[in-house]
A and B are shown apart, each in its own frame.
Chain A
Amino acid sequence: MKALINLVEKVKPNFEKGGRFEKFYRTFEAFETFLFVKGDVTRSGSHIRDAIDMKRTMVHVIIALIPPLLFGIWNVGFQHYRATGEEVAFIDQVLFGLIHVLPIIIVSYASGLAVEFIFATSRDHEVNEGFLVSGMLIPLVIPVTTPLWMVALATVFAVIIGKEVFGGTGMNILNPALLARAFLFFAYPSYLSGEVWIETTLQEGQQLVDGFSGATALAVMAAGEGTMPSDFDMFFGFIPGSIGETSTLAVLLGATVLIATGIGSFRIMASVFIGGLAMGLILNLFAVNEFMAMPAYKHLIMGGFAFGAVYMATDPVSASQTGVGKYIYGVLIGVITVLIRVVNPAYPEGMMLAILFMNVFAPLIDHYVVESRVKRRMKRMQKIRLQTQA
């Protein structure tokens, strides 16, 4: 550890003003702060600097993402060998998953960070930490069969149009990772819907098992044909889907990390689930088809509902900031998700669109929550004034 600090201190003068690599100061700074918290202290006023800076916060989210990631890697292999009907060892399933998932993660980080570094250098601001998380979220919300150049393109689009044009991390109105997915969804629809969830490129001597279907549970319900996976499979995640979203259990594990460290908002997570459940129950009352009559709790374990609620809706930048606002924001995400799923046949999954939609409304919600507070206090003040006058 000491040696590393010494090394950083030794090369630092090269990057500071007048140094040889002055231009790359921001690049250096990014790596320096990635390794160590900067020794900045407050110099005026009674402020306290939290020891956890934004990079450390983001690292916590990365830790919370580990369970879905590991499960997703295994599931990619598991689904592939189930499709080909081969019995292979656990380690082979994991290896297969690694070979297909790692390139996506690497491409996502490389392309996104390249854009971040270019912008940070040319605009002379710090390299934004937000991408540490976005770069991991993007691979987890897309199918494993997505071509790598599409991943790169979507990442670059999301970082530039979703974040940098607004002024970088903390200024974006939309969740960058979801924006990347939305970009792929609308730009290359045939690669993001239908039966794209399982890697089925066959090797010599392999073949798909009879009656194989790569459709997700949502697609089965929307089409009204095919067999639904059992609740058990859906909860544990032994189903086809985007890389990281299938296992509700793994997502809940991550959620406990986020809630325990105080980084993810419990209010948002809980209210998204409540909203989805409530809308599911309401639809049950007016059920005219099989999808509407489906037990409401199934919505919560199908598709990306849990993943979106825990990792996407809680993004501190694009979510509501006020306490009451968080409940409104969360409940509406749940309600809209279920509505899109059941009522709109064009989009089997509604989580992405619901969160992006509510991202846009989050500032409005906050505005009215704050306004109502102000009004209530004004009223109280007036009452007191009247009493004292009387």
Chain B
Amino acid sequence: MSEQNTAPKETLFSPKNRKLLSEPIGKSNPITVQVLGICSVLAVTVQLRASLVLAIAVVAVMGLANVIISLLRHGIPPRIRIIVQLTVIASLVILVDQVLKAFVYDVSRQLSVFVGLIITNCIIMGRLEAYALQNKVWPSFLDGIGNAAGYGSILLLVAAIREFLGSGTLMGYQMIPNFLYDIGYVDNGFMILPPMALITVGVIIWVHRHRDRGLVDIS
């Protein structure tokens, strides 16, 4: 709290802070622009339900990790900062894992190792290194939530496409009417396999760059 008192000019949702939230969802999206965290996108997006849970878990871990590292930033010796970051993330992930096991056991089993692998999600440590270590608590929190939301939104989009085309359902509810099956429609089995996740992400990147020409000349 003392952090905010020293900078009274900055309101909680000033344009600068709002940008922290909105930019990672669009212009600097961790998946479609920075191409980070791809592995989990390929692995858990077969069903929307699992992706939703993972997205929420990542939002929680990232928001909290950024806050904790930001609070500790003056006390962390630069030499061991990576270890400290990992400890913080790992503790949070264990917490999240326990919560999932307690309340949504079936989803937790479905996500299996991927909850644990949130620790290795490069987006989280990337934001800790790049942002939380240098910035105050509130902006760090927003940055964490924003990036996690950018990651989560792509996760949900890919999962929705894959579940809809691959199984004909969304969140487990049948979406494609029976008469379509009767006249010969068949669910696309390729959508359930990992390669299609990669291609779906590729198409999303394509559409994203087509709409936002500023991204095209990055490399």
> Which positions in A face B, CB cutoff 8 Å?
147, 149-150, 161, 165, 183, 186-191
Contacts and interface: CB of A to CB of B under 8 A. Distances in A.
A181 to B, nearest CB: 12
Contacts of B188: 187-188
Contact of A186 (B184, B189, B206): B189
B190 A161 contact: no
Interface string B7-39: 000000000000000000000000000000000
Contacts of A186: 189-190, 193
A160 to B, nearest CB: 9
Closest 3 CB pairs of A and B: A187-B190, A186-B190, A187-B188
Contacts of A188: 186, 188-189
Contacts of A161: 199
B189 A189 contact: yes
Nearest to B165: A187
Interface string B154-193: 0000000000000000000000000000001010111101
Contact of B191 (A149, A150, A187, A191): A187
B189 A187 contact: yes
B42 to A, nearest CB: 15
Contacts of B191: 187
Contacts of B126: none
Among B184, B186, B190, B206, the most chain A Cβ lie within 10 Å of the Cβ of B190
Contacts of A183: 190
Nearest to B195: A186
7 contacts: A147-B184, A161-B199, A165-B206, A183-B190, A186-B189, A188-B188, A190-B186
B189 A165 contact: no
A187 B199 CA distance: 14
Contacts, number: 20
A56 B140 CA distance: 62
Chain A's interface: helix, strand, loop or mixed, by majority? helix
B190 A149 contact: no
Contacts of A150: 186
A1 B57 CA distance: 70
Given A183-B190, A186-B193, A189-B189, 14 more contacts: A149-B184, A150-B186, A161-B199, A186-B189, A186-B190, A187-B188, A187-B189, A187-B190, A187-B191, A188-B186, A188-B188, A188-B189, A190-B186, A191-B186
Nearest to B199: A161
Nearest to A186: B190
B211 to A, nearest CB: 14
Contacts of A149: 184
Among A150, A186, A188, the most chain B Cβ lie within 10 Å of the Cβ of A186
Nearest to B189: A187
B192 to A, nearest CB: 9
Contacts of A165: 202, 206
Contacts of B193: 186
A359 to B, nearest CB: 15
Nearest to B193: A186
A190 B188 CA distance: 11
A202 B193 CA distance: 35
A165 B186 CA distance: 26
Nearest to A153: B188
A187 B188 CA distance: 5
A255 to B, nearest CB: 32
Among B189, B191, B193, the most chain A Cβ lie within 10 Å of the Cβ of B189
B191 to A, nearest CB: 7
Nearest to A182: B190
Interface string B184-219: 101011110100000100100010000000000000
B186 to A, nearest CB: 6
A187 B162 CA distance: 12
A175 to B, nearest CB: 17
A161 B202 CA distance: 10
Nearest to B188: A187
Contacts of A187: 188-191
B202 to A, nearest CB: 7
Nearest to B206: A165
A186 B195 CA distance: 10
A183 B184 CA distance: 18
Contacts of A191: 186
Contacts of A189: 189
A225 to B, nearest CB: 26
A100 B191 CA distance: 29
Contacts of A190: 186
B217 to A, nearest CB: 17
B117 to A, nearest CB: 26
A191 to B, nearest CB: 7
A104 B190 CA distance: 22
Contacts of B186: 150, 188, 190-191
Contacts of B202: 165
B131 to A, nearest CB: 33
Contacts of B190: 183, 186-187
A311 to B, nearest CB: 24
Among A165, A187, A191, the most chain B Cβ lie within 10 Å of the Cβ of A187
Nearest to A187: B190
A376 B191 CA distance: 47
A188 B165 CA distance: 12
